Structure 1
């Protein structure tokens, strides 16, 4: 821990756990830096269930109206400028750093950096998509990028960011919260699954890019082979921003959930697949599972669910895409071809019986996270990068 203490001005969108790991990850980073003596100011667009946690340790939590604007809309411009002017007049300590959690906020972060002459860090938890001229302009002023995986870094290097401007800090997980079950039988009883049935779980947002069709079709293949399995899918449909309606819209996510239910019906496996909704605390489902699956069909940067499952001692079966292979180094049997239900079914069939055939796998999974992806390692990496920038 350094004796130098920083003031972080953190930019976030919707402070809720229901959008996915990106929001939860930022909360843990801010909490960890606060516990090391740094001060946090949170700027956010939309309040959510994580806001009370931020308010418990932040110096200030400030809601603003917009991080960007549509130059064709006078109303949009009026939403953007007041927040920027207000923050331009705000008293800010000289040892402050702007920490932008999403490159979509880059214009606002760049303007704030310019007005206050502060260093500006952009945290890359996503590959470069939906980059308009405003966002590209805002990225020019970034002093340092921090990417969550080597693959995410490479995605941005391909986009055009100089390689030496991007540092990699992997996500981490709280090993005290996510740990193996002390009483597996009791945990499984909570999910009402019999001892002779294997539990395959998915925990995350319900979104097309997560490839849940592949999981459902793979489950159908196993069931037709005579496997006794139960598939538990936890999560809510993602809320997408509709550019046509100029607002967030639930229709697309709900349509996708309905299509998944129809697929389950069509495959004839309604009794073996259950959508359990959003879990505020997913630990018991991880613990009860025989395997947890991440069937993504997009360039998954660095899924928190990978670490959460492994730290609970449960194998994580993931598509061979994005940052997944570099995180599952040493677990090649856990990877399958994206979108290939036959490959996934074979992978699941191979791994499902690990408790009987290879019980030491639980320890190896957890040790992998302990060695490389602990919560403290993530905070160490973020803090080191911020302090290096601050001392330049």
Structure 2
């Protein structure tokens, strides 16, 4: 099977991009042919170049909501289609609805099916261009049941959306052989509890709630630091400056460290006592949850979107009300001392992820959907 993959910016900016790379590489390992079409040169591009049959840069294929279908835009789309005329393809695969207009034109041009991965909740306003492009999608993949329901509520047919959870490589995200040693390597005192957030710095992620809840943890007499690993959306430092100002006003700035973007956040998970995902909106999944738990570090997360679909069973105790800093603080205070009270929790966290959210299960689901579409 030859898969035409559209990835506007192959980079480590977020979980969506890393998940797409994992799926594409796994499909390649299973004997399929991957052809990448991209617009911007991100830091994951060299990884794609190692296994793709073709890696082709084209003019941006993303049509923003404020762009009209002018002659110039249509000409640009047409020139891109001509550029990839000779590429063999059995299916077009996109990882965001924003690319659906160009992808639908490509699928029609090639007379092959279009598969769209729903990794975002639907926009509040579904612009005609996106709705028009999405009409050509033969099948959707949602990364959680809540994300599927969000799109069904927008009028998309339920029978065209299949849920396939994200997965990771358990051999990549592992338990620390000696977390104390790792802490020492990063200059963190053994008596200090480490709380971490890993992800994009964006208002929807609830970082203000986290910082305010963190202050309550310190007031409770817990010696802790907060690591915030990530970068602001679109390289805009204003939001990080705003968060630092809040921390300063609350008197907790010295206990918070902004690490910036990390290509490999595994060490953060391994030295942390708890990872927090305090999203305010309908978080489609939460890749940092499964990465952290695979490393043996428990997670607390807001009860929104797909997060409760990961934190199931005994891990439900890690859920708190979105935007409620006091609830976050209460749950965090209960969980943070698990190393002393429940030392086997790390292994149970990892087993939960290996069983339910490993990459092989994800690729099995995606591959089967692709094969079914190609056979039709």
Indicate whether the TM-score tops 0.5: yes
Confirm or deny that 1:168 pairs with 2:163: yes
Asked whether 1:342 is paired with 2:326, we answer: yes
The answer on whether the counterparts of 1:68 and 1:80 sit within 8 Å (CA) in structure 2 is: no
Q: Which residue of 2 aligns with 1:50?
A: 44
Query: What is the TM-score normalised by the length of structure 2?
Result: 0.96
Residue 185 in structure 1 maps to residue 175 in structure 2:
no
Q: What is aligned with 2:55?
A: 61
Task: Provide the residue aligned with 1:242 in structure 2.
Answer: none
Aligned counterparts of 2:120 and 2:301: Cα–Cα separation in 1: 18
1:375 & 1:301 partners in 2: Cα distance? 17
Q: Write out per-residue CA displacement over residues 180-226 of structure 1, whole angstroms, 9 at most, x where no aligned residue.
A: 10011111112211111100011111111111001100111111221
CA apart distance, 1:78:
3.9
Q: Is 1:387 paired with 2:364? A: no
Tell me how many residue pairs correspond in the alignment. Answer: 371
User: What is the CA–CA distance in structure 2 between the aligned matches of 1:348 and 1:219, rounded to whole Å?
Assistant: 9
The CA RMSD measured in Å over matched residues stands at 1.3
Residue 39 of structure 1 is matched in structure 2 by: 33
Give yes or no for the alignment of 1:80 onto 2:80: no
- Partners of 1:158 and 1:338 lie apart in 2 by 21
Measured at CA, do residues 278 and 68 of structure 1 come closer, stay the same or move farther in structure 2, by a change above 3 Å?
A: closer
Deviations 1:148-178 (A, max 9, x none): 1101100111111111111111000111110
Q: Distance in 2 between matches of 1:168 and 1:360?
A: 31
- Corresponding residue of 1:257: 240
Q: Equivalent residues in 2 for 1:76-155 (5 A)? A: 76-87=73-84, 89-93=85-89, 96-129=90-123, 131-155=126-150
Instruction: Answer whether contact 2:8 2:60 (CA < 8 A) is retained.
Output: no
CA distance in 1, matches of 2:187, 2:213: 22
Kindly indicate whether the alpha-carbon contact (under 8 Å) linking 1:144 and 1:165 is maintained by their aligned counterparts in 2. yes
What is the distance in 2 between the residues matched to 1:133 and 1:72?
11
Once the two structures are overlaid, the 10-residue window that deviates more, 205-214 or 184-193, is 184-193
Match of 2:261 in 1: 278
The answer for the alignment partner of 2:309 in structure 1 is 326
- Structure 1: state its 5+ residue gaps: 1-5, 240-249
1:81 deviates by 2.6
Q: Give the C-alpha shift of residue 68 in structure 1.
A: 4.6
- Alignment partner of 1:157 is 2:152: yes
Which ranges of structure 2 fall in alignment gaps of 5 or more residues?
none
Q: 1:115 and 1:195 mapped to 2: Cα distance?
A: 60
Partner-residue secondary structure (3-state), 1:14: coil
8 Å contact kept, 1:293–1:317: yes
Alignment of 1:360 with 2:355, yes or no, is no
Shift of 1:76: 3.7
TM-score (norm: length of structure 1) = 0.92
Residue in structure 2 matched with residue 24 of structure 1 by the alignment? 18
Distance 1:344 1:73, change over 3 A: same
CA distance in structure 2 between the partners assigned to 1:131 and 1:60 by the alignment? 33
| Aligned 8 A contact 2:296 2:347 in 1 | yes
Distance 1:91 1:217, change over 3 A: closer
For residues 91-146 of structure 1, give each alpha carbon's deviation from its aligned partner in whole angstroms, at most 9, with x where no partner exists. Answer: 425xx111111111111111111111101101111111153211110111111111
Separation in 2 of the partners of 1:78 and 1:264? 49
SS in 1 for 2:196: strand
3-state DSSP class of the match of 2:237?
Answer: helix
The DSSP-based 3-state class of the residue aligned with 1:164 is: helix
